[in-house]
Structure 1
């Protein structure tokens, strides 16, 4: 695994370099960017930048070198998996709430990657690098549902391409607070890192570092002061559905970051958001694959309780 070099061009109004870079590269926090600046890994218009508070303006060319990651000791763990589909190219899993997708600081084990390594054995070695073997896309720790893992390098590139070109279809069900006036709609609001809490995302204007984010939603069921919504992602920003739902004024039930966290009397394992259907093309045959993940028991319980109230 070699170092990664990103060539970026600044658009919009002048902004601090560290803040601008953290909004352009979702995987990097502002503190991580500052450390890279200290390590002389950032150039602006060909010159090494050493000032964290440097300002960049429209047209500036920024070169960011991300050093080779120090691999975590990824250990296979025999964690049970709810498998929706599997062949020699890919694996689709119904992820439970509370499971992190890949190891990271604070979550060194018990992740989906640890479980998949135990399930697939040596087949995953080297697929997509050592840190996130086979990972095509992610689900938040407390979001449940269908997630695909590639077993081969060609499958990884094919599936990632389908996500990027929007030919893969990702659908979700979520229970939200309140009742939308309309029966359907689209949220087209850019998302970037929260200006005050770097662990959260927010609706942020593009000229301030936000990236285009589009979520289509449709009302499935009115449940008094709650609603069951169907979501379809057109883009895949971090926390996209949760941020857009909160922006609509109807946050996801049980969401501790973007809502009140209340769960209508049901002890939810996470937020009431579930990746219910994943549609993609097989990497080799191009045959359509549709994986349907049944709702987790706690969301079913919540829905049944809300139905009894209405």
Structure 2
């Protein structure tokens, strides 16, 4: 392991930290630098920073640990995953719950990327879902399509619809949550709602009540931003945690966090026409709703 330390110069004040580090250590790719940051290898003024878009200031002390990634290349694995749509540019997958999207620490096998790479060499993923979240994920068959779709996600023009079962009876039929999120400084796996300040990231979630099941509510959820754990944190923040969520609620008798990526609407990278895709309601949702 190698460690590099820098002091931010006046002319570099205000730059994103990943951009600044790319200039300082050009032998490493920006994506690798972002990986190092996400794994907790960056300290600014002796404080661990996980945000790749943190803006540095003059005289900040920056230390980055250069740790090799856990894998050198994607190991392809023959795993069946439900394909719900495919053409010459994109593949739409109905990700099962408990399948990790990318190989990472503790999950080097059985991932969605490895499964798709077996059937589609050179496949690109443009977004991700949490391990326990099921549902729709889009992959691209070429770099041009990936760049085109990633731009839509970044600019928030992709319409995303989730299904969620939450604890409690939500009597407001519709709602909007605007609350900044920040990674918990003591537990990097968690995010918290915080007052808006530097390094917090504004997040917006809208929802609509579909049905009541005892003391639970079935929601359609529309995240307007794409923050990590956004839906889970926001719904817990207003007192209605996603059922089965072991981090922001309670597992209780649920098999997993009851959150499902249900619909996506975006501009197709080749035809430039609007395309809408959706999945079936998962079996564990049906079983709970119909019991």
Q: Under TM normalisation by the shorter chain, which class is it?
A: 0.7 to 0.9
Instruction: State the Cα distance separating 1:135 from its structure 2 match.
Output: 1.5
- Alpha-carbon distance change, 286 to 179 in structure 1, aligned in 2, over 3 angstroms: same
**Cα deviation code 1:238-282 (max 9, x no counterpart):** 00000001001000011011101113xxx52x2110001111111
Instruction: State the Cα distance separating 1:159 from its structure 2 match.
Output: 0.5
Secondary structure at 1:28 match in 2: helix
CA distance in 2, matches of 1:175, 1:102: 26
CA distance in 1, matches of 2:244, 2:138: 25
CA distance in 2, matches of 1:64, 1:205: 27
Instruction: State the Cα distance separating 1:165 from its structure 2 match.
Output: 1.4
User: Match for 2:57 among 60, 85, 96?
Assistant: 60
- Alpha-carbon distance change, 196 to 53 in structure 1, aligned in 2, over 3 angstroms: closer
Instruction: State the Cα distance separating 1:192 from its structure 2 match.
Output: 1.1
Partners of 1:146 and 1:278 within 8 A in 2: yes
Partners of 1:29 and 1:198 within 8 A in 2: no
Instruction: State the Cα distance separating 1:8 from its structure 2 match.
Output: 6.9
User: Match for 2:207 among 200, 217, 229?
Assistant: 217
* Structure 2 unaligned blocks of 5 or more: 1-11, 17-33, 49-54
**Which residue does the alignment assign to 1:271?**
257
- Alpha-carbon distance change, 233 to 27 in structure 1, aligned in 2, over 3 angstroms: farther
Q: Does 1:108 align with 2:108?
A: yes
User: Match for 2:237 among 228, 231, 247?
Assistant: 247
Secondary structure at 1:206 match in 2: coil
TM-score by length of 1: 0.75
**Cα deviation code 1:159-217 (max 9, x no counterpart):** 00111112211100000011123110100001110132111111122315320100011
When the two structures are aligned, how many residues end up with a matched partner?
A: 254
TM-score by length of 2: 0.80
